[in-house]
Amino acid sequence: MPTRIGFDNDLYLAEQTAAIDERLKKFDGKLYLEFGGKILYDYHAARVLPGFDPNVKMRLLQKLKELRGCEVHITHIPTPGDEAGLRRLGVNLTSDPNFSTKNMFIS
């Protein structure tokens, strides 16, 4: 039985890019994007969505116009891959991780 592909990366890129470009026009070039999961190497999504490219979110960011110099804030500790990928895009990256507990060790 052939494996069915459940996620179309090219369709995702085309539709998301068009939707983001439309929102940029409405809000004078300002944009708030929220991504679930990792930006790079999202192997969890690749496991649950057959055909999902673990780096499709970074490919989407690379397609956006006038991204260089933008402020990007993330609420988790960036993985080395996320940080390197975002810096290659030329964005100003800040992080303010929120932890569910102050106790960093489980006893």
Which contiguous run of DSSP H or E holds residue 44?
A: helix 43-48
| pLDDT tens-place string over residues 66-101 | 888 888 888 878 888 888 888 888 988 888 877 777
Q: Sort 104 into a burial class: Cβ within 10 Å, 0-12 / 13-18 / 19+.
A: exposed
Distance CA 23, CA 27 (A): 6
9-23, 37-51, 55-69, 93-107: lowest mean pLDDT where? 93-107
Report which DSSP code applies to 64.
S
Structure tokens at 71: 């402020």
pTM: 0.74
Per-residue pLDDT band at 53 (split at 50, 70, 90): very high
| Rg of the chain on CA atoms, in Å | 16
